[in-house]
Amino acid sequence: MKSIIAQNLVKTYDKGTVKALDGLSLEVEEGTVLGLLGPNGAGKTTTVRVLATLLTPDSGSATVAGIDVLKHPDEVRKVIGLSGQYAALDETLTGWDNLTMFGRLYHLNSAASKKRAEELLEKFSLTDAAKRPIRTYSGGMRRRLDLAASLIVKPKVLFLDEPTTGLDPRGRMEMWGVIDELVKGGVTLLLTTQYLEEADHLADSIAVIDTGKVIARGTADELKNQVGGERLEITVEVNQIAEATKLVEQVSGATPTVDAGIRKISAPVSNGSASLIQVLRLLDDAKIHPLDIGLKRPSLDDVFISLTGHVAEVVSEVEAGGKNATKRK
């Protein structure tokens, strides 16, 4: 069963001159994770806002958990959880205050909302910080609490809008761990991100969007292959460049690119780590010890250049009528 279906969503701003969504369609199978990947201004947030009933599209239709988003927004709100780009919490209140407040707003009774707040604080390792105001929390803690708040009634469908944007690497890893856990619990998740790595890690399938449309769909591997797969890169001593290049060519089958200035040899490889091991063996046999060796995976930029023919430019934030731009502090 499809948990999320969006068909031909169109949303324009400024009397039609700015198209945030330009006929966007997508589907998410129940219990799976779809990563919505795209640069700023591609329409990711607008898509989430439409599906989460915050925004009415100019045209198009959508259902979430089988409920029509435009006709029965109140019913949709009962089964979704939303955690946005910015931790939407009351900063002056404590973590505990926030969770019990949202629990009450989800119509749990007083006792149930307290119990649920306790569970969630425990689950997200925030019990120690429960009685501290949110403004004393780190970025990662805020995001975790924000996520906790969206899980109060165990939503059928969860929307996470750039859950790790702005977090430091540690915060990002923690957040990934938390989301992994959720996904194991069987929730249907629509996640937006600017990072291919993140979509790769968390999503079952990925939809790449640009200028308000889905321009490619597939698993992370499929997309990467479309971009051209991985490249092997090694750095060796100057006097070994010629010999190493031959060995790399032997494994890759293609003529390697050599940058003599930084002594780097690179070539496309089809079966990633196996090729890496093979090259290492050959180098070892030839008594060449590379200074650096690795597989370079395609970046979001690579995907974008390949799919759209242009660099992932940072479009002025048109999403939500330019609202995000002012929200950033």
Which residues sit at the interface with another protein, rule CB under 8 A? 49, 52-56, 74, 77-78, 80, 82, 84-94, 97, 101-102, 104-107, 133, 149, 320-321, 323, 326-327
Of the pair 78, 264, the CB lying nearest another protein is at 78
To the nearest whole angstrom, how small is the minimum distance from the Cβ of residue 324 to another protein? 9
- Which residue, 246 or 323, is less far from another protein as judged by CB? 323
150 with 119: CB under 8 angstroms?
A: no
Nearest to 47 by CA among 66, 25, 18: 25
Residue 119: CB minimum distance to another protein, A: 19
CB of 16 to another protein, least distance (A): 14
Is the Cβ of residue 94 or residue 252 nearer to another protein in the bound state? 94
Nearer to another protein, 156 or 263 (CB): 156
Closer to another protein by CB, 95 or 256: give it.
95
Min separation Cβ 82 and another protein, Å: 5
Tell me the closest approach of the beta carbon of residue 245 to another protein, in angstroms: 53
Rama region for 273: left / alpha / beta (φ>0; ψ in -120 to 50; rest): alpha
- Are 268 and 320 in contact, with CB atoms under 8 Å apart? no
Q: In whole angstroms, what is the distance from residue 143 CA to residue 292 CA?
A: 36
Work out how close the CB of 243 gets to another protein at its nearest, in angstroms, rounded to a whole number. Answer: 58
User: Residue 163 and residue 182: Cα distance in Å, rounded?
Assistant: 13
Report, in Å, the least distance between residue 159 CB and another protein. Answer: 9
Give the nearer residue to another protein in terms of CB position, either 28 or 208.
28
CA distance 39 to 60: 23
Q: Contact at 8 Å (CB) between 276 and 252?
A: no
Contact 282, 251 (CB under 8 A): yes
Question: Quick one: 104 or 213, whose CB is closer to another protein?
Answer: 104
Q: How far apart are CB 104 and another protein at their closest, in Å?
A: 4
Cβ distance to another protein smaller for residue 58 or 259: 58
